[in-house]
Structure formats: C-alpha cells, structure tokens
Chain A
Amino acid sequence: EAAVTQSPRSKVAVTGGKVTLSCHQTNNHDYMYWYRQDTGHGLRLIHYSYVADSTEKGDIPDGYKASRPSQENFSLILELASLSQTAVYFCASSDLAGNERLFFGHGTKLSVL
C-alpha cells in the first residue's frame, strides 16, 4: 500500500508567523498535491507538482507557497500565517497524470491564533 507521511500531525501557529508543512512519499509517484479541508467546503486544491523542482497553482493558492525539492518530498509554506488559514491540510500522491487514484496522508491540523 502506498505511503504518504505528513508532519507535523498538528500545529499551533501565531498570526504573521511562518509555517511549513511537510509531506514525504515512498511510492515513487511523480504527482503530489496539497489540499485544504474546511467544514462545508470539502477538499480544495492549493498546489500540486508533477516533477521535482516544479510546482503549479491549484484553485486556492493565495497565501501559500509550495516546494518540491525531490520526487519524495513536497512542502507547503505559509509565509505569513493568518486566522483564515486554520484548517486541516492533506497531502496526496498519485503515479499517473489526470484523474487517477490519489493516496492521502493522515492530514495536518493547523490552528492559527
């Protein structure tokens, strides 16, 4: 079974601070994604990547940066965290392009105070 590991599992951050969420996959998957989950909104795509050293904007990229230094690692960076970024963040990977099976991590619960 494909493995996607997120760290930390939860984090409390202060408004205006920098937050980095990390994701590591051991599946040899080329495609990686960051989603945000809020009650009533389901899962919304923030950034994604289909090759190392390259990232693409998803549907809600404002306030977020992404970094893909290697095939295995994909980070989500909040340079200036805001209250509205309190949410659960999920990383996912897939081995094929397009609408194919995504393997998700357990999520990171971020609270910005």
Chain B
Amino acid sequence: SQLAEENSWALSVHEGESVTVNCSYKTSITALQWYRQKSGKGPAQLILIRSNEREKRNGRLRATLDTSSQSSSLSITATRCEDTAVYFCATDGDTNAYKVIFGKGTHLHVLP
C-alpha cells in the first residue's frame, strides 16, 4: 500500500475558483512535500512543510500539515488554466531516510 496517497484521482474547477488537494500518509515523517507536474515535464516542488510546521504558503498556494491525523492539504486560490497539472504529495520512506516516496497524484483540470 502507498505510504503517501492523494485522496482524489481527478478534480475540475473553473478559472478563478479555489481548490484543495488532500493527501494522507502512513508513517511518522520529517516533512511532506507537494510537487506539480505539467504535461511532458518532470515534477517540480511547490512547497515543503516540516513536521513541526502546521502551515506554509507560497504565493497562491497554501499547504497544511496535521500530524495527528497524518494528513496534508494543498490549496490553490484564484486558479488559472496554467495550474492544470498533476499534483503529488511526497514523504519520507518508512525505513530509509534517503528515500522520497510519492503518491499516485491528483489530476487537476482548470477550465476557462
């Protein structure tokens, strides 16, 4: 089973709306990362939130981390068509500090 997993396979919103992608994970972690992958490109990190942090912002992006429920969310406000991408959460490997394990991703479609 996945160590980290987004809760939705796909989401659609209209431009200008807000959207939230959720992630749950199974082990204690040092940090949780959110990545975005646009079509034909490699993933690019959006936010890294450490286990002692509850919230992190990056422009229109806001990530939260709840270690008690082992969950995280990534919210995007004022969405744009160029936000269309696959969003991944990623965490530590369960027994190996060198590993970064990705969820299966959420496909976000922002419609005009």
Contact = CB atoms under 8 A, between A and B. Distances in A.
B81 interface: no
Contact of B98 (A35, A40, A90, A98): A98
A102 B48 CA distance: 11
Interface in A40-91: 40-45, 48, 50, 56, 58-59, 90
Contacts of A43: 43, 88, 102
Q: How large, as a class, is the contact surface on chain A?
A: 20 to 34
A45 B44 contact: no
Nearest to A105: B42
A34 B88 CA distance: 17
Contacts of A92: 42
Nearest to A38: B104
Could you say which interface size class chain B belongs to?
20 to 34
Interface string B90-112: 11100001111111110000000
B102 A101 contact: no
A104 B31 contact: no
Given A106-B41, A106-B42, A101 B98 contact: no
Contact of B45 (A40, A90, A102): A102
Contacts of A106: 40-42
Interface of A: 4, 31, 33, 35, 40-45, 48, 50, 56, 58-59, 90, 92, 94, 97-102, 104-107
Interface of B: 2, 29-33, 35, 40-45, 48, 88, 90-92, 97-105
